A and B are shown apart, each in its own frame.
Chain A
């Protein structure tokens, strides 16, 4: 069963505007972590932001913030003041922690295109 859902395959945003990338997740574990990664056309995976399930406040990192709504099981990424360099694929991921390991489960990704 798919555990991370990103419903927007592609999005456009005007330069300097804010954009929200959606992510919903499914888990029965009370302890989990949610991540966003950026993958530019060069292919590398760049860690952006992390939210723990017990964190009281929404995570922020510079122009990135995570809108965490636990009851709705959503963890949307908000990018403020979009820049041309933000054009990339964005992946939401969830860390499932069990006694053995620490694997990430990824969503299908959203391709963001910033228009000048």
Chain B
């Protein structure tokens, strides 16, 4: 158990809908990262937050947004869902903002868009 929690574990929804994925980092970790794992694209970095502020952005679509709250939990919002958004979404956390701190992954949320 990495100490990172993600809810829900599974999510099935229809195209055009909007969903919210939730992540709680390990106790003491200030950085939260979101990754997407799909058959087409592999594992891709989406976005990083550190202590409530966006710090780095990867291949995140405009239909996707994220935020980190004062209690450090984070939410990833996916809207206008398409079939291609079906993937395993991971949250990871680390103590620091930049190098020198390992990232520990949560169990993931498996999103299926039908």
- List residues of chain A with CB under 8 Å of any chain B CB: 31, 33, 35, 37, 43-47, 50, 91, 93, 95, 97-106, 108-109
Contact = CB atoms under 8 A, between A and B. Distances in A.
Nearest to B55: A101
Nearest to A101: B56
Contacts of B94: 102
| Majority secondary structure, B binding face | strand
A109 B55 CA distance: 27
| Majority secondary structure, A binding face | strand
Given A35-B103, A47-B105, A93-B43, 18 more contacts: A35-B102, A37-B105, A44-B2, A44-B107, A45-B90, A46-B2, A46-B105, A47-B2, A47-B103, A95-B99, A97-B98, A100-B48, A101-B55, A102-B97, A103-B48, A103-B58, A105-B45, A109-B43
Contacts of A45: 90, 92, 105, 108
A106 B56 contact: no
A103 B99 contact: no
B105 A101 contact: no
Interface in B99-114: 99, 101-108, 110
Interface residues of B, number: 30
Rank and list the top 9 A-B pairs by shortest CB-CB distance, nearest first.
A101-B56, A45-B105, A97-B99, A106-B43, A103-B45, A101-B55, A101-B48, A100-B56, A44-B107
Nearest to A97: B99
Interface string B60-94: 00000000000000000000000000001010101
B56 A98 contact: yes
B56 to A, nearest CB: 3
Contacts of B2: 44, 46-47
B55 A91 contact: no
Contacts of A93: 43
18 contacts: A35-B103, A45-B90, A46-B105, A47-B104, A97-B99, A98-B56, A98-B98, A100-B55, A102-B48, A102-B55, A102-B98, A102-B103, A103-B33, A103-B48, A103-B58, A104-B33, A104-B35, A104-B92
